[in-house]
Structure 1
Amino acid sequence: MNRDGTAKESGATGVARADIPLERDVFLRSLLRELAGTLEEVVGLEDASGYISIVGGAIGRQINDDYSRALGVERLSREQVGEVLVDLKRRIQGGFHILEMTGDRIVLGNDRCPFGVHVEGRPSLCMMTSNVFGYIAAENTGYAHVTIEEAIARGDAGCRVVIDLKPQDEPGDGREYFGGDL
């Protein structure tokens, strides 16, 4: 390293100029992919999803607080919840969009995962989406049941995420989330 913090030329080998697709974002996504894969192999998909869901809940709380503060509201409206879910994914380079929004349900589609190709074969990473979406929806509406019907991580062409905002008689697959003081 030079005194000014720049990389020294690597002499005749040209290491500093080598065409290597490595930078911080790719490194961090690769790190998460390998961490999720290791968890899935060591403790199984269900437990790995559980560990990742804890992180997703904490991230969801942080993001919800950020949007509530920025919008100057104590609670987001249902419409704002849908818009926030799409916007937060847009900000991290996801391709989510609203397919359906009613008083009882938000359905989102996605054609680009924020993890990129690093999500393929790592379905436990979908718990980040489930918990972030579930936390934000439940915290603002009182309840959310999130089902990831299709997922790029599972080999589907895109994602389809259904968020029911009222308890179902037969909730089926997915996860339930309960909000705070509503």
Structure 2
Amino acid sequence: MSNSVETASIPLQRESFLLDLLRELSGTLEDVVGIDEAEGYVSLVGQAIGSKIDRDYKDALSLSNLTREQVGEVLLDLKRRIQGDFYIVEETQDYIVFGNRQCPFGDRVLGRPSLCMMTSNVFGHIASENVKYAKVELKETIASGADQCRVVLYFTQNGEDGREYFKRS
């Protein structure tokens, strides 16, 4: 019986390949330009993805703008769709605290904190485009070794840490 390349047991499929590619790309950026600059590059991608997702939800819901409550619902739904396990820990008019038990990047996110800028920028962009202002604080991340993520989305300017986002137009 001869071995066939086509039937060889190789753990290679499209999703795992793309996740490995993203992990190596972010790791290379972190190594070459540093964490802060790598986060900047990932932020640009996150902003573009956030803009597309925002437009997709508004089109699907036939809305020109999302309310603050709908922003929270959309953020939970988008993470569910990409196999994250986000949930609301606490919610007030001024902020939402999200928990997350499963990163959409799976174990590929471990040791790659720059990838967390995708969450920050997608959340921040969608929120700010609909309610004019947002600040995202990544309090705990799986990428940095925590068991879960803790992400705070603020809707008001305050003295808390975080990355600020403003409506573009």
When normalised by structure 1's length, the TM-score is 0.90
Partner residue, 2:21 = 31
**Alpha-carbon offset, residue 14 of structure 1:** 2.8
Partner residue, 1:122 = 112
Query: What's the secondary structure of 1:161's corresponding residue?
Result: strand
What CA distance in whole angstroms lies between the structure 2 residues aligned with 1:133 and 1:140?
11
Identify which of 2, 21, 25 aligns with 2:11.
21
Point out where structure 2 has 5 or more consecutive residues left out of the alignment.
none
What CA distance in whole angstroms lies between the structure 1 residues aligned with 2:124 and 2:18?
24
Partner residue, 2:160 = 171
**Structure 1, residues 118-165: CA drift from partner, whole Å, max 9, x if none?**
000000000000000000011111100100101000000010100110
What CA distance in whole angstroms lies between the structure 2 residues aligned with 1:86 and 1:120?
22
Letter in 2 for 1:41: D
What CA distance in whole angstroms lies between the structure 1 residues aligned with 2:94 and 2:120?
17
The answer as to 2:73 corresponding to 1:83 is: yes
What CA distance in whole angstroms lies between the structure 2 residues aligned with 1:121 and 1:163?
23
Partner residue, 2:127 = 137
**Alpha-carbon offset, residue 85 of structure 1:** 0.5
Letter in 2 for 1:88: L
What CA distance in whole angstroms lies between the structure 2 residues aligned with 1:79 and 1:95?
19
**Alpha-carbon offset, residue 72 of structure 1:** 1.1
Greater gyration radius: 1
The answer as to 2:38 corresponding to 1:48 is: yes
Letter in 2 for 1:134: G
Determine what percentage of the aligned residue pairs are the same residue. 59
What CA distance in whole angstroms lies between the structure 2 residues aligned with 1:19 and 1:100?
46
The answer as to 2:56 corresponding to 1:66 is: yes
Identify which of 42, 47, 52 aligns with 1:57.
47
Aligned residues: 169
What CA distance in whole angstroms lies between the structure 1 residues aligned with 2:98 and 2:160?
18
Query: What's the secondary structure of 1:152's corresponding residue?
Result: coil
The answer as to 2:119 corresponding to 1:94 is: no
**Structure 1, residues 58-109: CA drift from partner, whole Å, max 9, x if none?**
0000000000111111111111101110110111111111112211101111
Partner residue, 1:105 = 95
Point out where structure 1 has 5 or more consecutive residues left out of the alignment.
1-10
Partner residue, 1:7 = none
